[in-house]
Amino acid sequence: MKLLYIILGLLLLVTTSCDNDLEQAPPNIASANSLTDYSGILNAAYFYQLGSATPLAVMGDFRADNAFMFEPPYTDFDIFDQNLTSMDDQFFGPFYTGLYKSILSANNVIENSSNATEVAEAQFLRGLSYFKLVKVFGDVPVNLSATPSTTDPAVLERQPAQIVYNDVIIPDLEAAAAALGTAIVDGRASQFAAQGILGKVHLQMGNFSAAQSALASVVNGAASAGIMLQDNFADVFGEANDLNSEIIYATQFNSSIVDEYGFSEFWSWSGGLDTKSLNPLDQDLVAAFDASPGDLRRAVTIDETVMASPKFPQTNGPDHDWIELRLADVILMYAEALNETGGTAAAITELNKVRTRAGLAGTTAASQSEVRMAIANERRLELAFEGHRWFDLVRTGTVNAEMGQSVDSRYHVFPIPISEVLSSFGVITQNDGYN
């Protein structure tokens, strides 16, 4: 049974409705600090992650060169100027709201639960939430309280991304990794999920040595927990394959549960099932697969007849889980960290694990720079339509080269929802370039 079935009862217990998403304190039947069972509040923290999935998918692939929009104003995703604020209601607002609600629920568990596993899972979800927020918006407000002040403006002031990484994200994920077990139980957070996301965080920050250490723990220990690459790439995706052996962590969906995001879901966007982009497949991604002849991922990832992606099949689409972290992603990140710290030969070994599953021969790349490019290309083909591409380009400083144009760095991040700026009376400031 999926975790989210539990949420139906939970929603009767926890509700939120305030003007600003950071100031919400869920009114419970009993006050938060008088509860003895925080499992429902923890489930809420998991549930609110749903609102971030589709926005992240669209930002990751439609902002980049894997997919594009046809219908204005959605075409603003492919135009690097201030007009992207037109997408507030559909993408940035639900993303922001869902994650801060998840953070608030996680804070409640961290402050009050006496269950060490519950606290560790909440720390994982809070660290993951802030990581998503920082990747998308840069500097963000930080709330680490279950009952944040509704009168102190400092609660709403955006904190530098570096501080959020160092003081919140990394400590939360380290604490989660230290306290959680390696087994993945009912799709919940595990030690390997925390270590894998921590490795991704260090990679995002350019700390390759720390990334290598965290990711090595996952790569070297995965098999003992039953985590392994699927033999068939297609078997990673589709509702029938949810929580397969390759999945380290996923946000679990259920068609009967309504979440913060009330529009077409990620599987609709990539599959060309929304009228705003009926043929979303970018020819540039087709060309990337053309340059990888014999690649078994091609038929799973792109359909040139309809110019869309069948990666998340329409059958039972609303029940597809959103994959946050899978082993192939970790292996490629590990290869990148190895290569950047002088372990190019070891990096090639890791890279070839993914290529072999794709039906490809070992890479011919040999030098550090060649392997760096080979890993970037492999990430694109392996992870297309999983929300990674744009953030990989920004992280590696290759936006201009890959997008074929000079993109103002102000537009490497996305606009803060205007509703948040207005409801805070300007205490929450807008990102430069979107004013």
Per-residue pLDDT tens over the stretch 167-207: 999 999 999 999 999 999 999 999 999 999 999 999 999 99
Q: Is the pLDDT of residue 15 over 50?
A: no
CA distances from 102 to 45, 76, 259, 267 (A): 4, 28, 12, 23
Per-residue pLDDT tens over the stretch 117-142: 999 999 999 999 999 999 999 999 99
Lookup result for tokens 């292996």 = 331
Spatial distance between the Cα atoms of 279 and 308, rounded to a whole number of angstroms = 5
Tokens of 119: 């606290």
Percent of the chain with pLDDT strictly greater than 70: 92
> Averaged over 336-365, what is the pLDDT?
98
CA distances from 152 to 20, 23, 130, 156 (A): 13, 10, 21, 8
Q: How many residues does the chain have?
A: 435
Q: Is the pLDDT of residue 35 over 70?
A: no
pLDDT top residue among 36 and 331: 331
pLDDT top residue among 435 and 335: 335
Weakest-pLDDT range from 81-90, 158-167, 296-305, 328-337: 81-90
**Model confidence band, residue 12 (pLDDT cutoffs 50, 70, 90):** very low
pLDDT of residue 228: 98
Angle at 353 between CA 347 and CA 354, to 5 degrees: 100
β-pair partners for 281: 67
Domains of the chain: 3-423 (1.25.40.390)
**Model confidence band, residue 154 (pLDDT cutoffs 50, 70, 90):** confident
Per-residue pLDDT tens over the stretch 287-304: 999 999 999 999 999 999
Q: Is the pLDDT of residue 21 over 80?
A: no
pLDDT of residue 390: 98
pLDDT of residue 291: 98
> Averaged over 403-424, what is the pLDDT?
97
pLDDT of residue 4: 38
119-122 long-range contacts (CB < 8 A, ≥24 apart) are 119/179, 120/175, 120/176, 120/178, 120/179, 120/180, 120/189, 120/194, 121/42, 121/45, 121/176, 121/180, 121/188, 121/189, 122/42, 122/45
> Averaged over 95-108, what is the pLDDT?
97
pLDDT of residue 34: 56
Spatial distance between the Cα atoms of 105 and 174, rounded to a whole number of angstroms = 19
**Model confidence band, residue 33 (pLDDT cutoffs 50, 70, 90):** low
Q: Is the pLDDT of residue 25 over 50?
A: no
Calculate the CA dihedral of residues 409, 269, 131, 337 and round it to 10 degrees: -80
Angle at 422 between CA 421 and CA 423, to 5 degrees: 100
